[in-house]
Chains A and B, each alone.
Chain A
Amino acid sequence: DIQMTQSPSSLSASVGDRVTITCQASQDISNYLNWYQQKPGKAPKLLIYDASNLHTGVPSRFSGSGSGTDFTFTISSLQPEDIATYHCQQYDDLPYTFGQGTKLEIK
């Protein structure tokens, strides 16, 4: 199975900060990488697909980049409503696998 490792596991930042989360795959997955946002007690929501494509309706402060094994997710200016856990997910090979999640808190 392809292992997905996110860093950091938790993060505290202030409103307006630029926030960056990384996701590393255990093997080359091209750009077959998605990002989701999950608020407490809720289902995940798709934010970014194919590493860098913003899903419909998602604010432009969210972005993604990377290919191969190393990927980055960025919030350009943190808003209070962005408090959530963020997950990366690969679909290069079965089984589709997720990172362990990054819990984002407001400082």
Chain B
Amino acid sequence: QVQLVQSGAEVKKPGASVRVSCKASGYSFKNFAMHWVRQAPGQRLEWMGWINAGNGDTKYSQKLQGRVTITRDTSASTAYMELSSLRSEDTAVYYCARGQYCSTFNCYRGVWFDPWGQGTLVTVSS
């Protein structure tokens, strides 16, 4: 079955960086986009960005542009999300989620997230 397994919880100090991994199994990793979504305590879900796992193209939320980087290792069927210059407001559960089907040149128009990883709690505290 299609499954996404994320790395474990992290505690970071303000100004540090964090990298969360997301290992995919049960499908052709290079044929789908991978999205990252976070949920701060009591807040709505917030989309962060996505990567075309086939060609590595990325798009990011403008709010996080410059601080977030999404990469992938196709040999390991794993996507990564790195967030830098951490601040207390970045304390949240971070999810990866499989997105749209992508061919060599473009991705399907329909974007829904299924499945999701189990989530990784990132706590930013001094």
A residues at B contact (CB < 8 Å): 32, 34, 36, 43-46, 49-50, 55, 87, 89, 91, 94-101
**How far is A50 from B117 in the complex, measured between Cα atoms in Å?**
22
Docked-complex contact B45 and A95, CB < 8 angstroms: no
- 6 smallest CB-CB distances across A and B, nearest first, come from A43-B116, A91-B111, A46-B114, A98-B45, A96-B47, A49-B112
Smallest CB-CB separation from A98: which chain B residue? B45
Q: Which of B9-17, B23-31, B58-66, B77-85 contacts A (4 or more CB under 8 A)?
A: B58-66
B41 within 8 A of A: no
Secondary structure dominating the interface of B: loop
Residues of B near A45 (CB, < 8 A) are: 114-116
Residues of A within 8 A of B95 (CB): 43-44
